[in-house]
Amino acid sequence: MATRRGSYDWRFDTGRLCLDLVATGAGSPGATDPLDRPEGLADWLVAAGAVPPGTPLDVVDDHWLLRFRQLRSAVDRLLTAQLGGRPADGALERVNALAAGAPPGLCAVRARNGALVRGLSAAPGCTALLAAVARDAVELLTDPVALAGLRRCEGDHCRRVYLDTSRGRRRRWCSSEVCGNRERVARHRRRHTDPAGASPERPGGAET
């Protein structure tokens, strides 16, 4: 899923909240960081579903921005270590410390159409929202089934990590419409410019 907020295209196709946070820092080389200002973080919190639409986020400031970027870095290090079979103790300690906090309290509220929707029992604070994302990371990293589907996008210049829940777990890209399409375009160009050097198709055409 992708939504546009200001000058950024937010994409939420990783399968987890914590991975969506890491994805904001995994753009192409030289790309602008979507979390470069408090307004960007406030937009991301709503678009990612960390808070319900309409939640007042006027209190988001540079301090929030710094702490979320620190958490993003720590989770990214843990994921990289997990995929590479290496420890990342410093990052693990930071994530565990944040996950120990209390996440925002939830409540059910009536929407205009009468349906019950998720709301927050109080205005969310920075520590509570950090706890929600950090807990999601802890749950992911301690779930063997989920970890078995953890993948790094095979697209050129893409570092996004996602959960592969496709049949047969043959997904290659974070997004078939973005990185997958770029690969197909590049493959098409190679076939027309140097047919002998074109890369072979993968068995079964696994390009989800």
pLDDT digits over 68-78, tens only? 999 999 999 99
pLDDT at 206 over 50: no
pLDDT at 125: 96
pLDDT at 172 over 90: no
Q: Can you give the C-alpha Rg of the chain in angstroms?
A: 19
Q: What is the mean pLDDT of residues 46-60?
A: 93
Q: What is the mean pLDDT of residues 27-49?
A: 85
Q: Which residue has the higher pLDDT, 166 or 67?
A: 67
* 3-class DSSP state of 51: coil
pLDDT band at 123 (very low <50, low <70, confident <90, very high): very high
pLDDT at 148 over 60: yes
Which residues is 152 bridged to in the sheet? Answer: 161
Q: What is the mean pLDDT of residues 158-166?
A: 84
Percentage with pLDDT > 90 across the chain: 52
Q: What is the mean pLDDT of residues 85-113?
A: 92
Q: Which residue has the higher pLDDT, 181 or 82?
A: 82
Are 11 and 4 contacting, i.e. CB atoms less than 8 angstroms apart? Answer: no
How buried is 114 (Cβ within 10 angstroms: 0-12 exposed, 13-18 middle, 19+ buried)? exposed
pLDDT at 114: 93
| Average pLDDT score over the chain | 82
pLDDT at 204: 41
pLDDT at 163 over 80: yes
User: Looking at 20-24, 57-61, 174-178, 199-203, which range is the least confident one?
Assistant: 199-203
